[in-house]
A and B are shown apart, each in its own frame.
Chain A
Amino acid sequence: MSVTDELQNIAPAKLIVEGVSKTFSSRNGKVQALDNVSLEVGEGEFVCLVGPSGCGKSTLLNLIAGLEKPDSGRLLANGNPVNGPGRDRMVMFQEHALFPWLDVTGNVMFSLRLKPGLTEKERQDVAAYYLKLVGLERFAHSNIHELSGGMKQRVALARALAPNPRVLLMDEPFAALDAMTREQLYTDIQRIWAARKKTIIFVTHNVREAVCLGDRVVLFSRNPGRIREQFKVELPRPRDINSVELAAHSTEITRALKSHHVAQEVAE
């Protein structure tokens, strides 16, 4: 397999979540993280999951990633049932989760080393391509501890993109970063999404971030974790997080989020 083949945009996957439930037992008894959740994500769609903490949005992400199994219901990625982790669905975690014993290139190449049919030279080229895509080609041989928080998340993004997945699962990847760095990353992630054509599921508790990035914003409520409401975002791209239109959209969604929250508090 050549590098050009390896870098070719493959069709992004369609995801189907059907009646999925998941319960965790904790010290305070059972927590129903997800209750009969169904969701369909189109090919190449950018979907943001928003909700209060503990609403099960991260659990749903882990289920799609195959890191956990649902108690009931089923998950399909491109028509195939999800039975475990796979390089067609890559995850970007809130903590960068980069390996400190490898340098930047080593981290990006980790998954490529597990991918058969590539020579070492081809892996290097693929890694270099993605490091360039995230704007870190000058830091190819830096150590992880030498990078800033934003740069670490860029490496994590390059690492997630490297095996050319069809789906990118992002679990609050920018939550720990400062505002300036985040805004730059919003621009970059939109550019990369357009260039690499992935299906993206992006978990956040920041409504504005969700409106800035998503084609669709899915609102979750907790106890039990359910999908409350969905909003299509049809603003032109690339979007600017500071634009007035975007702010209007996010105000509307925030209002919905709050009303669910209040209703829930009253019910409890």
Chain B
Amino acid sequence: MKRVLIIVAFFAGLVGIWQAVCAAGIWSPVLLPEPLTVGRYLWAAILDGSLAESAWVTSKRLLIGYAIGCLLGLPMGLLTARSRWLSDTVGVLALGLQTLPSVCWVPLALLWFGQSEAAMLFVVVMGTLWSVLIAVDNGVRNLPPIYVRAARTMGSQGFHTLRSVILPASLPYVVSGMKQGWAFAWRSLMAAEIYVTILTGYGLGHLLHFGRELNSMDQVIGVMLVIVLIGLLADKVLFSPWERFLHHRWGTAKA
């Protein structure tokens, strides 16, 4: 209860400061609209459905691309960690591509796939895949060998060892890699949406972009708030349960 109060007080305080700065009249209301103006925009955008539609378009791209990236990155990371050949080839490639900011994939994606969903998905997958792959690879390499030895004495081998020992044992690495992949994917998708108009659907990035074109700062700030909110929500829904489990089981830190 006390925690909730503190959180509410903190954010109410922020809005209060915002309101106070507006009231002081230092900047023109065109550049810095009042909280209420932004609220009014958001309310209108909710009512006419534009916000929900954009959020849905963006989330769909993100979730599908992210899922594909994880589904590819997880087994590939397991393989590169277990095979020297793959580590020398795919592993090095992944390391190189991971250093490439994923927004750099946008021009290539546009030329390959056009202004379409496929281009957006491609950018998100590229943002996710390499960091997940490297995190899993790293996790498996840092595994104490005693776990696999102990599992072998208990009759575990082959795929069972991979699924029931190696994968769960590297879970702390896997989760942090997936979180990093998520952050990369989210950033690159936003950049891509602001950067180019995708004909198959308007995402939150486009809404933000239109806000700028129309000089409507209430829309710009409103959409930014929604983007922050979605990021926060994703963290709480997708990663918090895993992190809580890790803290609880491994005893690494207090959640």
Interface set of A (CB-CB < 8 Å, partner B): 65-67, 85-87, 89-91, 93, 95, 97, 99-103, 110-111, 114-115, 143-146, 159, 163
Q: Is B165 an interface position by the 8 A CB rule?
A: yes
**Nearest 4 Cβ contacts at the A-B interface:** A145-B251, A111-B154, A101-B168, A97-B150
Q: Is the CB of A85 within 8 A of B165?
A: no
**With A95-B146, A101-B169, A114-B160 as given contacts, are A143 and B248 in contact (CB-CB < 8 Å)?**
yes
Please, could you name 13 A-B residue pairs with CB atoms under 8 Å apart, sorted by A? A66-B153, A67-B149, A91-B150, A91-B153, A95-B146, A99-B169, A101-B171, A101-B250, A102-B249, A103-B249, A145-B250, A159-B154, A163-B154
Residue numbers in A under 8 Å from B249 (CB-CB): 100-103, 143-145
**With A143-B248, A146-B251 as given contacts, are A85 and B153 in contact (CB-CB < 8 Å)?**
yes
Q: Is the CB of B150 within 8 A of A114?
A: no
* Alpha-carbon gap, A67 to B147, bound state (A): 13
CB distance from B131 to the nearest CB of A (A): 22
Interface centre among B151, B153, B154 (most CB of A within 10 A): B153
CB distance from B163 to the nearest CB of A (A): 12
> In chain B, residues 198-255, which have Cβ atoms closer than 8 Å to a Cβ of chain A?
248-251
CB distance from B246 to the nearest CB of A (A): 9
Interface set of B (CB-CB < 8 Å, partner A): 144, 146-147, 149-156, 160, 164-165, 168-169, 171, 248-251
* Alpha-carbon gap, A67 to B149, bound state (A): 7
Q: Is the CB of B154 within 8 A of A90?
A: yes
Residue of A nearest to B250 (CB): A100
Contacts A110-B156, A110-B164 aside, 9 further interface pairs with beta carbons under 8 A come to A67-B152, A87-B155, A91-B150, A100-B251, A101-B250, A102-B249, A143-B248, A145-B249, A145-B250
* Alpha-carbon gap, A90 to B154, bound state (A): 7
* Alpha-carbon gap, A159 to B147, bound state (A): 13
Q: Is the CB of A99 within 8 A of B152?
A: no
CB distance from B164 to the nearest CB of A (A): 8
Residue numbers in A under 8 Å from B164 (CB-CB): 110
Give which listed residue, B147, B149, B154, B248, contacts A114 with CB less than 8 A: B154
Residue numbers in A under 8 Å from B154 (CB-CB): 85, 87, 90, 110-111, 114, 159, 163
CB distance from A171 to the nearest CB of B (A): 11
Residue numbers in A under 8 Å from B156 (CB-CB): 110, 114
Q: Summarize B's interface: helix, strand, loop or mixed.
A: helix
CB distance from A84 to the nearest CB of B (A): 8
Residue of B nearest to A143 (CB): B249
CB distance from A97 to the nearest CB of B (A): 4
Interface centre among A91, A97, A103 (most CB of B within 10 A): A97
Residue numbers in A under 8 Å from B144 (CB-CB): 95
Q: Is the CB of B155 within 8 A of A85?
A: yes
Q: Is the CB of A67 within 8 A of B153?
A: yes
Residue numbers in B under 8 Å from A99 (CB-CB): 147, 150, 165, 168-169
Residue numbers in B under 8 Å from A143 (CB-CB): 248-251
* Alpha-carbon gap, A115 to B160, bound state (A): 13
Residue numbers in B under 8 Å from A86 (CB-CB): 155
Q: Is the CB of A93 within 8 A of B146?
A: yes
* Alpha-carbon gap, A146 to B165, bound state (A): 21
Residue numbers in A under 8 Å from B147 (CB-CB): 97, 99
Residue of B nearest to A98 (CB): B150
Residue numbers in B under 8 Å from A97 (CB-CB): 146-147, 149-150
Residue numbers in A under 8 Å from B168 (CB-CB): 99, 101-102
Residue of B nearest to A159 (CB): B154
* Alpha-carbon gap, A115 to B155, bound state (A): 8
Residue numbers in B under 8 Å from A100 (CB-CB): 169, 249-251
Residue numbers in B under 8 Å from A103 (CB-CB): 249
Residue of A nearest to B149 (CB): A67
Residue numbers in B under 8 Å from A114 (CB-CB): 154-156, 160
* Alpha-carbon gap, A101 to B156, bound state (A): 16
Residue of B nearest to A87 (CB): B155
Residue numbers in A under 8 Å from B160 (CB-CB): 114
Residue numbers in A under 8 Å from B149 (CB-CB): 67, 91, 93, 97
Q: Is the CB of B251 within 8 A of A163?
A: no
Residue of B nearest to A99 (CB): B147
Q: Is the CB of A163 within 8 A of B152?
A: no
Residue numbers in B under 8 Å from A144 (CB-CB): 249
Give which listed residue, B151, B171, B250, B251, contacts A110 with CB less than 8 A: B151
* Alpha-carbon gap, A95 to B248, bound state (A): 21
Q: Is the CB of B153 within 8 A of A90?
A: yes
CB distance from A218 to the nearest CB of B (A): 22
CB distance from B152 to the nearest CB of A (A): 5
* Alpha-carbon gap, A65 to B150, bound state (A): 10
CB distance from B143 to the nearest CB of A (A): 11
Residue of A nearest to B170 (CB): A101
Residue numbers in B under 8 Å from A110 (CB-CB): 151, 154, 156, 164
